[in-house]
Amino acid sequence: MAAAFPYIDLPTNIGPINLFGILLAVGVLFGSWMGRKYCERNGLDEEELRWLGIRLIVWGFIGSFVLNTVFYEWHAFSDDPWKVIKKLGISSYGAVVSGAIAFFYYSHVRKLDRRRWADMMAWGGAGGWLFGRLGCAVVHDHVGYLSDASMAVAFPAGKYPFDINPDLRGFQGNTETVFAHDLGLYEFFLWCAIILVLVALERWKGRKPGMLLGVMAVMYSVPRFLMEFLRPHSTDPRYAGLTFAQWASIATLFIGFYLIFGPVKKPVTEPDPEPPEARVAAKKKKKKK
């Protein structure tokens, strides 16, 4: 069979710097730029963005490492904590969960309109996630089962990590091209599609606050839930039959539907204690004096 996608063979390290880390940093910068542009177009305070954004990024990274350790590498952490810490593995949904908790807390502290700022978070987050998944794709960080599907990637001899699947360890000496799923590449294409939809939706004047995040949540959670079945149990352990990402996807789907179809509370405005006419009259009296 001929694979639809050739294997991209790039060095995982450029000198002392990891290629994935470079693309992840580019994603943070690009997502921050997208968030700032969104604030400019939609009347959100850029100072508030800087205050909120840095905290969400910090807590997102902390949560991505902690939840990755808990749900994906707990046994390795129990055996050798320093090895896991040095590896610094991260989970995308771990960042989402911790970032969401931080957003709820800080938006309460700053008394922000959560739905409006959630749309900004979706806009900037999509840009950051795009480059993050590009990094996963070029370093082949999320390899799945062997497959003859048209979207499978052609792994040259010795490039497919057979040790991730115990059933295939006997094929380690295979010298032929192997076709397999590359979930990082699949997600990169998925995020390209999501961003195109968000760009069109952001320009729709009739959208209600929270809709950008809601649409993004639905568009991402369903394919991600299905793609998780292509991941080996050795790299993505199951909990009650599903991976951590699948349980998170279910929650994300319900949240997305609520943001799209749920009611929107009208912002409470304080009554003007003094009618405009009275203020005008008071100004005229001051001028006469």
Q: State the pTM of this model.
A: 0.85
How far, rounded to the nearest angstrom, does the alpha carbon of residue 148 sit from its chain's CA centroid?
A: 29
Give the number of domains in the chain: 1
DSSP annotation of 271: P
Q: How far apart are the first and last CA of the chain?
A: 92
Q: Could you give the residue ranges of the DSSP H alpha helices within 110-243?
A: 114-139, 183-202, 211-227
Q: What is the pLDDT of residues 115-150, one digit of tens each?
A: 999 999 999 999 999 999 999 999 888 899 888 888
DSSP annotation of 156: P
Q: How far apart are CA 68 and CA 267, in angstroms?
A: 38
Residue ranges making up the domain that contains 272: 5-288
Q: How far apart are CA 136 and CA 186, in angstroms?
A: 10
Counts of helices then strands in the chain (DSSP H, E): 10, 8
Q: What is the pLDDT of residues 36-84, one digit of tens each?
A: 999 999 999 999 999 999 999 999 999 999 999 999 988 888 887 887 7
